[in-house]
């Protein structure tokens, strides 16, 4: 059996700044999708553990809730909101892309070989998603600090 090729760069490939300059905002969205996904999974596991304290009575529940009722806790939750909105928005863009929407028509591959799929519609969606995430974080902060 032929030896399978490995993605040799691994996590180094994620954080290599040269890739961002070369591939632009799409690369940034790619890495942010993975970072927010991992962040949200970590938050979800913590949330399940935190909410299980309800079984230990009011005193334990109040004590665990106090962790998020601080300024740092509110900032952390605002970050979670931002991650959630970006992951959702970018996920919808990717799903639509996989269904063939917004990819443009296939064209002859002429120099400088710009792929039709990485077009302005996609870029605008990524910027809009980042903007929406920032707005949601701001609203979340207003609710939590208000």
Residues in touch with another protein (CB under 8 A): 4-7, 10-11, 34, 37-38, 40-41, 44-45, 48-49, 51-52, 54-55, 57-58, 61-62, 65, 69, 84, 88, 91, 95, 143-144
Query: Is-contact 84 40, C-beta < 8 A?
Result: yes
Provide the minimum distance between the beta carbon of 117 and another protein in the complex, in angstroms, as a whole number: 18
Provide the minimum distance between the beta carbon of 10 and another protein in the complex, in angstroms, as a whole number: 5
* Cβ-based nearer residue to another protein, 55 or 120: 55
Distance from C-alpha of 77 to C-alpha of 50, rounded to nearest angstrom: 14
* Cβ-based nearer residue to another protein, 41 or 124: 41
Provide the minimum distance between the beta carbon of 86 and another protein in the complex, in angstroms, as a whole number: 13
CA distances from 85 to 52, 89, 110 (A): 25, 6, 37
Query: Is-contact 78 65, C-beta < 8 A?
Result: no
Distance from C-alpha of 54 to C-alpha of 130, rounded to nearest angstrom: 35
Provide the minimum distance between the beta carbon of 118 and another protein in the complex, in angstroms, as a whole number: 19
Provide the minimum distance between the beta carbon of 140 and another protein in the complex, in angstroms, as a whole number: 10
Task: For residue 48, give both structure tokens.
Answer: 């399940």
Could you give the angle at which helices 71-98 and 120-145 cross, rounded to 10 degrees? 150
Q: How many C-beta atoms surround the C-beta of residue 94 within 10 A?
A: 15
* Cβ-based nearer residue to another protein, 59 or 120: 59
* Cβ-based nearer residue to another protein, 4 or 110: 4
* Cβ-based nearer residue to another protein, 38 or 124: 38
């Amino acid at each position: 059996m032929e030896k399978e090729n490995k993605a040799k760069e691994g996590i180094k490939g994620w954080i290599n700044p040269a890739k961002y300059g070369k591939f632009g905002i799409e690369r940034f969205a790619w890495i942010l999708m993975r970072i927010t996904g991992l962040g949200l999974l970590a938050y979800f596991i913590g949330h399940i553990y935190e909410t299980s304290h309800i079984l230990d009575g009011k005193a334990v529940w109040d004590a665990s809730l106090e962790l998020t009722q601080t300024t740092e806790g509110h900032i952390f939750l605002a970050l979670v909101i931002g991650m959630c909105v970006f992951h959702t928005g970018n996920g919808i863009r990717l799903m639509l892309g996989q269904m063939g929407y917004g990819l443009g028509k296939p064209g002859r591959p002429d120099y400088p070989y710009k792929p039709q799929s990485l077009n302005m519609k996609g870029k605008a969606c990524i910027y809009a998603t980042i903007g929406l995430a920032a707005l949601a974080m701001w609203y979340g902060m207003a609710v939590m600090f208000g």
